[in-house]
Amino acid sequence: MLTEQTMEKLKSLRLDVFAAAWTEQQKNPEHVSLSFDERLGLLVDAECLQRENRRLGRLLKEAKLRLGQACIEDIDYGPKRELDKSVVRQLATCRWVQEHHAVVISGATGTGKTYLACALAQQACRRGHSALYHRASRLFDELALARADGTYARLLARIARIDVLVIDDWGLAQPRETEKHVCAAKIRWQVQPAGNFLGIHRVIPG
């Protein structure tokens, strides 16, 4: 049996889940017939799963997605939405993130653009990438304020560290001069091997 000293060592190594899973193994007679390697594998799996879940939780919290429950599996492919399942499946692989491509979602109001964008961002988080959601107007206001108080470069650097930047209502209104400057900076950032842009553009009839 593990001694109290060994348990303390596991905790000092932050292997609390590993230790808890081992204790559960001792209580479960079904594990008695398993080999040492099999039991060790189960303990390692439990620890890895917990760490992956913790990391995902942190990434989703930091992403601040407008629709936090949006996910690829629940996307509605109704005829009015005119979504191509093969394209969505391809985007779900997150290869576009790895290859530093931009994705623009365009459509009329009420067609689920924000849901799709948040689902893609959530999928990116599940693949271990960081994401951040912003409404375009609020992002531009934040950047304009940063230019005024001297923290502009620092803010751009923080945004550049994000793997997937989601901008909602992109291009909804004529951009101001400050926003044009921001757009130019964003384009320069986009072509560098750093982050990706996921824009949501509303199409206004007429």
Average pLDDT over residues 87-97: 94
Element of type H or E holding 106: strand 103-107
Q: Where are the domains of the chain?
A: 4-62, 69-202
Q: What is the DSSP string of 14-77?
A: T-HHHHHHHHHHHH-GGGTTS-HHHHHHHHHHHHHHHHHHHHHHHHHHHHT-SSTT--GGG---
- pLDDT above 70 for 2: no
Poorest-pLDDT segment among 5-9, 21-25, 133-137, 183-187: 183-187
Q: Which of 77-86, 87-96, 98-107, 167-176 has the highest mean pLDDT?
A: 87-96
Q: Give the integer Cα–Cα distance in Å for 182 and 83.
A: 31
Higher pLDDT, 153 or 60: 60
CATH tag for 69-202 (out of 3.20.140.10, 3.40.50.300, 3.40.50.10880, 3.40.50.2300): 3.40.50.300
Whole-prediction pTM: 0.76
Poorest-pLDDT segment among 19-33, 89-103, 157-171, 183-197: 183-197
Q: For all residues of the chain together, what is the average pLDDT?
A: 81
